[in-house]
């Protein structure tokens, strides 16, 4: 490849550090897709003959079939997927293969391949998110009126419904999907034809290749087209946020499936045993998911570090853009699939959830609200009265609903028998009718909205 300029071949160490075929062969389908579009455009513009374009197109299909069949011999000496494909194409069709690279560079070629690949991964992530949302919706619908403790600081706060808790993750994942869709729309411009950095003197039609490859338009600046990887960084950023949400849900599944909580039972398909303790059923899938964000966030930081100081346009540093993105995409898609499986299979224990919901003075806020609403107390005074009643109940070793009216009136003589109507956990959740609240009617309304949205 460098014979015209260099008298000697590269050192073996240089060849090893320079070659990217070990990982960028994953771009084979996108590389061939881009080359076919480029050849068709060159023929349409009269830059190459129709016969050459036909030979190139058919030869590239042969190369693709060999790669898909696993019979293609990749060569480190040829550095990357682009030169491996071109070299094999020359073996198949001869001289016309040398005309394929007219009016393009590996700089715009790899930028195009990489955008196509990331675009495919975004589509896969959106599909995986949708599948997980549907699994969460099924759980929410089954338990729309099941009460459970809501937590702040991992301390019992107020009763909520199981459906409401599941729907919180549906909302988070909905924003994740929207971030991926936004990133896809922003990156959907085609670098092909930017050539090395300055465009080309050949009469190419960049709009034709952009349309053929499903892009909205060509990149408007040739320097920018070959030198930036913000589309990959945006993908990694969205993937990191999504993985963070998966990690939070995984953490809850680990806690909830413990003997101390018993809120859920994870299926055997997503659990493992112990080599020494026969009673163990470990939530290993959830624990691994909890950790996966480290790899995805690490990929994002690594690529930001590669790109942060590069002058325009292309630098070889940018060869380090792919492995992290490949690994992050693989990790995210696997994580979404695993979480979807766990959520679909898990069984929530309604009785355990309800028993826990009634503990920890979870209806104290309902009592305070009642004092404000019925007795006209300022909220701060109601808060003080309720705190005194909680202390009394704690001293007595009972919960708020178990106090007698006389005991309550010893703290505030305005309290009446009607207060007991707000102290039960079911009464509590049913009263939270504000939009987005935990009342079963509100939860079911949100389930219906998301079902329609997801189709």
Catalytic residue IDs:
153, 274
Cα dihedral 56→58→64→66 (10° resolution) = -110
Is residue 349 a contact partner of residue 146, using CB atoms and an 8 Å limit? no
Distance from C-alpha of 80 to C-alpha of 315, rounded to nearest angstrom: 16
The residues that bridge with 343 in the sheet, in sequence order, are none
Please enumerate in sequence order all residues whose Cβ is within 8 A of that of 148, keeping only pairs 6 or more positions apart, or say none. 159, 160, 161, 162, 165, 263, 353, 354, 356, 357
From residue 180, alpha-carbon distances to 125, 237, 304 in Å are: 8, 9, 18
Q: Are 328 and 238 within 8 A, CB to CB?
A: no
Q: What is the DSSP letter of 347?
A: E
How far is residue 44 from each of residues 47, 135, 180, 208, 213, measured CA to CA in Å?
8, 49, 35, 9, 16
What is the pairing mode between strands 147-152 and 155-161?
antiparallel
Secondary structure (DSSP) of 210-223:
HHHTT-SEE-S-HH
The answer to whether the CB of 402 falls within 8 A of the CB of 367 is: no
- How many residues are recorded in the chain? 455
SS (H, E, C) 356-378: HHCCCCCCHHHHHHHHHHHHCCC
CA atoms lying within 13 Å on the CB side of residue 432: 22
């Amino acid at each position: 490849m460098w014979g015209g300029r260099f008298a000697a071949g590269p050192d073996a160490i240089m060849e090893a550090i320079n070659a990217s075929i070990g990982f960028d062969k994953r771009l084979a389908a996108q590389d061939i897709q881009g080359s076919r579009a480029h050849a068709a455009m060159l023929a349409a513009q009269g830059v190459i003959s129709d016969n050459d374009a036909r030979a190139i197109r058919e030869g590239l299909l042969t190369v693709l079939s060999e790669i898909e069949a696993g019979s293609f011999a990749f060569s480190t000496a040829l550095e990357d997927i682009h030169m491996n494909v071109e070299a094999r194409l020359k073996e198949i069709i001869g001289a016309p293969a040398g005309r394929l690279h007219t009016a393009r560079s590996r700089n715009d070629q790899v930028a195009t391949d990489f955008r196509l690949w990331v675009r495919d991964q975004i589509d896969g992530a959106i599909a995986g998110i949708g599948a997980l949302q549907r699994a969460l919706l099924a759980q929410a619908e089954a338990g729309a009126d099941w009460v459970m403790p809501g937590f702040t600081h991992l301390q019992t706060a107020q009763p909520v419904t199981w459906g409401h808790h599941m729907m919180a993750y549906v909302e988070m994942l909905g924003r994740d999907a929207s971030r991926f869709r936004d990133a896809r729309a922003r990156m959907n411009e085609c670098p092909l034809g930017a050539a090395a950095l300055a465009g080309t003197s050949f009469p190419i039609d960049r709009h034709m290749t952009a349309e053929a490859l499903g892009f909205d338009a060509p990149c408007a600046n040739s320097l920018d087209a070959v030198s930036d990887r913000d589309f990959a960084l945006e993908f990694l950023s969205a993937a990191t946020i999504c993985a963070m949400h998966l990690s939070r849900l995984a953490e809850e599944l680990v806690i909830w499936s413990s003997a101390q909580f018993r809120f859920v039972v994870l299926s055997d398909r997503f659990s493992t045993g112990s080599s020494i303790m026969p009673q163990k059923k470990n939530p290993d899938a959830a624990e691994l998911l909890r950790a996966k964000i480290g790899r995805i966030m690490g990929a994002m930081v690594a690529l930001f570090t590669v790109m942060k100081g590069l002058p325009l346009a292309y630098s070889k540093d940018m060869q380090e853009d792919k492995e992290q993105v490949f690994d992050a995409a693989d990790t995210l898609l696997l994580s979404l699939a695993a979480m979807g499986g766990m959520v679909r299979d898990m069984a929530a224990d309604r009785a355990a959830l309800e028993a826990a919901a009634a503990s920890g003075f979870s209806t104290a806020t309902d009592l305070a609200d009642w004092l404000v609403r019925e007795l006209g107390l300022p909220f701060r005074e109601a808060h003080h009265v309720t705190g005194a009643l909680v202390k009394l109940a704690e001293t007595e070793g009972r919960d708020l609903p178990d106090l007698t009216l006389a005991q309550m009136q010893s703290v505030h003589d305005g309290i009446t028998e009607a207060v007991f109507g707000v102290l039960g956990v079911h009464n509590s959740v049913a009263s939270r009718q504000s939009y987005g609240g935990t009342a079963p009617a509100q939860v079911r309304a949100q389930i219906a909205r998301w079902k329609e949205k997801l189709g």
